[in-house]
Structure 1
């Protein structure tokens, strides 16, 4: 099927091809990996051998480019999500879980961790949410307390990607700084005494996901990321750089669903004709194709803007994330519908895609939360 890719520098075309090769190599393990709640060893081996996780880290620490590149990450995630949500997640979290180190870590911390992140020698995690805290991060209860040359982390994080398999957790907690409550980020190695993980939940699209308990965990003060009480700025920087890449994953998911729908409807005959020529099915297929191409064009534009000026382009990244994930939900559901009973078979790829598409509208900013933020910016700019 013809696909429209917006004009890109040659390096991005080469990157897309490299990502496609890795995705194809991972395809034989996708069914197993996408049902696993721990990192699949074959997926990790192939991703590590590809060197593609290096796009998440600056060149001076073993990265592929000078700085982590939003467009590069988005392009890779599109290819990976077409084959395996497990592959996509493992790749994406190397950037999401390490960016605070890149922008807020000491030279020693950067040198210690980032080359290993780039090589996938370690697995990254970002610990933000809690059992009673989701979108309202300022309500978190995890605490960070300075104690001489150490920081004490105490609290409970929930629904943390890579929990149990991660080698470290960039952890957000409350900290009293000069008598004022702020929010700080601390790097906590997973093997530190007092760190415990569990997996009490699993989502509809199985995921490496769990809870992390910090029981009076002591880490050196040098593990602080950024300034005391200013952790939210690092979280925002992470979102500004990587949120748009969720749109890339959504496009890949939708594309794979449409490919399955096309294969089914062009090879199955009913009433003497291919399904692809009967009733509303041609229009449904064409609508899905149109929506995917529109989402891809805007997402690449937003990702390019995010690569150049992340904070200034966060509204575009949010728009792309909303548009692409909502589009993916429609396209995948439409694909199931045109495949009839064959779209309902448990264990099929279309079933995996159906389940994978749904969480995308929730994580990294639920659709409604992002629309609320966008509306405030829109009104503010209108009144200016």
Structure 2
């Protein structure tokens, strides 16, 4: 599977610089991803996928190979899984049969709409509402920073329903759905806001039971969070490879830069940290493949560890490359920018550490503490 992913990445490497600056899905990348068959790994076998269910280790291995070449390709692949997982896990049979086989072929693109302008890590503060009206569900709200916004064929929208939280599938062409692109991040991304104004969909478009969608959202997180660590490892490795090529091919004071002053230390330390991150990531991904929810703590550790290491490695590699690491449009500059958002999305480092700390100390605290 790693070889498959590397072949795909290599085949579109010359397109990465263009695609990674795009704010809409790049057609060349989409066509190549579809032809590779790798999207089948994020869809269950009964709907045209490769495995009986999504395998966290497989997704992690693929993302490691893709992210080292193109953040755009990596995101497009991963979001086919993240955007459709809730539908597979708890959706109506007819909806699953309609959408999932098309997702396995990249004929349809999905999106998960959780975040809002005033609600990020604190999902319980969302204001989007879902109301039953006869045989329909009426959705009102404003979702923000949604990956694939504007290019998705449907959105799995998380909102309040009564005293609980529900999820509903909203086709992108449903009346009342408006997409805006009010912001762009330092590493360009297919990103936008989705405004839902009295959007009506059939009642069978609800995903799961009314008021109990937090479990679905958590299951999605548990399955895919560790794959972010895989992407971070791939990015860090690509940055180190770029730095090694530069420092071994450039001489200063009569010796290769790779043997001068603090440069060897920086390269070796980066190598050590990448291998540490890779080991933890694979362990966590294998555990997640067996039982995602029971091993969410390992996935969280891997996500924090690998993304923080990717940031440090990318920064060191820019430093050892000197002025050549600062050139706009270079591979290392693009990797440097792409490393930074990884420490924020799918659980910011501080939020994840807080959750891990609570789990760590809970057995030692009094029940009433």
- TM-score bracket, shorter-length normalisation: over 0.9
Cα distance in structure 2, aligned partners of 1:190 and 1:121:
14
1:53 aligns with 2:39: yes
- What TM-score does the superposition give when structure 2 sets the normalisation length? 0.98
**Secondary structure in 2 aligned to 1:312?**
coil
**Secondary structure in 1 aligned to 2:295?**
helix
TM alignment of 1:101-180, pairs within 5 A: 101-176=87-162
1:207 aligns with 2:189: yes
Cα distance in structure 1, aligned partners of 2:364 and 2:220:
28
2:179 to 188, 197, 205: 197
Cα distance in structure 1, aligned partners of 2:303 and 2:19:
25
1:78 aligns with 2:78: no
Shift of 1:383: 4.6
TM alignment of 1:273-352, pairs within 5 A: 273-352=255-334
Cα distance in structure 2, aligned partners of 1:124 and 1:327:
30
**Secondary structure in 2 aligned to 1:311?**
coil
Cα distance in structure 2, aligned partners of 1:133 and 1:77:
28
1:370 to 349, 352, 360: 352
Cα distance in structure 2, aligned partners of 1:290 and 1:161:
33
The Cα offsets for residues 286-340 of structure 1, whole Å up to 9 and x where unpaired, read as 1000100110011000000001000000000000000000000000000000000
Shift of 1:108: 1.1
Aligned to 2:342: 360
2:219 to 218, 237, 247: 237
Shift of 1:28: 1.1
- What TM-score does the superposition give when structure 1 sets the normalisation length? 0.95
The Cα offsets for residues 97-137 of structure 1, whole Å up to 9 and x where unpaired, read as 11101111011111111111111110110000011111101
Aligned to 1:62: 48
The Cα offsets for residues 215-266 of structure 1, whole Å up to 9 and x where unpaired, read as 1000001111010001111000000000000000000110000001000000
Aligned to 1:4: none
1:97 aligns with 2:83: yes
Unpaired runs of at least 5, structure 1: 1-14
Shift of 1:382: 3.9
Cα distance in structure 1, aligned partners of 2:27 and 2:47:
25
**Secondary structure in 2 aligned to 1:97?**
helix
Shift of 1:279: 0.6
Cα distance in structure 1, aligned partners of 2:43 and 2:31:
19
**Secondary structure in 1 aligned to 2:294?**
helix
1:32 aligns with 2:18: yes
Cα distance in structure 2, aligned partners of 1:119 and 1:232:
29
**Secondary structure in 2 aligned to 1:125?**
strand
Aligned to 1:7: none
Cα distance in structure 2, aligned partners of 1:205 and 1:94:
20
**Secondary structure in 2 aligned to 1:90?**
helix
Cα distance in structure 1, aligned partners of 2:59 and 2:12:
18
Aligned to 2:233: 251
Shift of 1:42: 0.2
Cα distance in structure 2, aligned partners of 1:75 and 1:189:
31
Shift of 1:208: 0.1
